């Protein structure tokens, strides 16, 4: 069953076209990687999938229903089902807030839980990403980069979404920490059935997490298929150049 879909979407900034007829389907529990050079349209596609912008043509659908960005009730339901983790764990967490408040924020803003119920879910979310219970009472600056990304993942998954959209989730981390975060994402997917869209320049990360890969060039899909086949026997010269140029995660 398709849970999140971009159906033949176009997008332009002013008169400058960015995406041209891009389609992406994400099945329940599936993982899809989106790769391409800078300027290929990856971040724009991510913004459409997150409901942060509307396509100029085509549709983004959640459970088969087109997103309507002005329908506040519908978007609240959407945001309880689709959450995101962003690139930089240093800037994505409010340094003035304790971790328990950071992780609880989506529960409260979406009207899912408050008070003791929210506190219980925060503890469970932090435990699920391998952080100790006392982490809840500390501030982001007290943690390493990898731990901060674990906090960001806890915040995204505390609402128990069906889809996680990850924008370069390991690019700001060192190699050993990248491996730990990738292992964590895979473990969460295995235990919860979470579906994943990962935008990344790191083909090692994509290979380790994504069943299918979509290749963007100039705002168009030039190749799509099972990740092992894309990486081992790409059809397009562009994909071959991309594979040879993008750093990979060792191991």
What is the distance between the alpha carbons of residues 140 and 103, in angstroms, rounded to a whole number? 11
pLDDT tens track, the chain, 251 positions? 899 999 999 999 988 999 999 999 999 999 999 999 889 999 999 999 999 999 999 999 999 999 999 999 999 999 999 999 988 777 789 999 999 999 999 999 999 999 999 999 999 999 999 999 899 999 999 999 899 999 999 999 999 999 999 998 888 778 888 889 999 999 999 999 999 999 988 888 899 999 999 999 999 999 999 999 999 999 999 999 988 875 554 44
Its pTM stands at 0.92
> From the CB of residue 191, how many other CB atoms can be counted at a distance below 10 Å?
9
Query: Partners of 61 in the beta sheet?
Result: 5, 66
Strand 57-62 relative to strand 65-66: parallel, antiparallel, unpaired? antiparallel
The answer regarding whether domain 2-91+162-245 maps to CATH 3.40.1000.10 reads: no
Strand 16-27 relative to strand 2-13: parallel, antiparallel, unpaired? antiparallel
Q: At what angle do helices 145-157 and 175-192 cross, to 10 degrees?
A: 20
What is the distance between the alpha carbons of residues 196 and 32, in angstroms, rounded to a whole number? 6
What is the distance between the alpha carbons of residues 172 and 28, in angstroms, rounded to a whole number? 28
> Where are the domains positioned within the chain?
2-91+162-245
What is the distance between the alpha carbons of residues 80 and 74, in angstroms, rounded to a whole number? 10
């Amino acid at each position: 069953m398709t849970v999140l879909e971009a159906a033949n979407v176009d997008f332009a900034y002013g008169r400058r076209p960015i995406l041209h007829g891009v389609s992406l389907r994400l099945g329940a529990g599936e993982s899809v990687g989106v790769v391409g050079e800078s300027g290929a349209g990856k971040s724009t596609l991510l913004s459409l999938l997150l409901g942060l912008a509307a396509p100029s043509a085509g549709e983004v659908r959640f459970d088969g229903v087109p997103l309507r960005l002005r329908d506040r009730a519908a978007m609240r339901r959407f945001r309880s089902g689709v959450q995101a983790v962003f690139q930089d764990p240093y800037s994505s967490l409010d340094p003035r807030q304790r971790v328990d408040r950071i992780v609880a924020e989506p529960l409260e803003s979406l009207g899912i839980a408050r008070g003791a119920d929210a506190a219980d879910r925060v503890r469970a979310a932090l435990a699920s990403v391998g952080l100790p219970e006392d982490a809840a009472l500390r501030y982001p600056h007290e943690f390493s980069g990898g731990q901060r990304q674990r906090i960001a993942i806890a915040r995204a998954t505390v609402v128990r979404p069906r889809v996680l959209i990850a924008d370069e989730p390991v690019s700001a981390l060192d190699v050993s920490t990248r491996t730990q975060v990738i292992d964590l994402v895979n473990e969460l997917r295995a235990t919860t059935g979470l579906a994943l869209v990962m935008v990344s320049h790191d083909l090692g990360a994509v290979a380790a997490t994504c069943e299918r890969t979509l290749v963007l060039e100039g705002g168009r899909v030039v190749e799509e298929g099972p990740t092992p086949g894309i990486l081992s026997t790409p059809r397009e010269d562009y994909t071959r150049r991309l594979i040879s140029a993008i750093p990979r995660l060792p191991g």
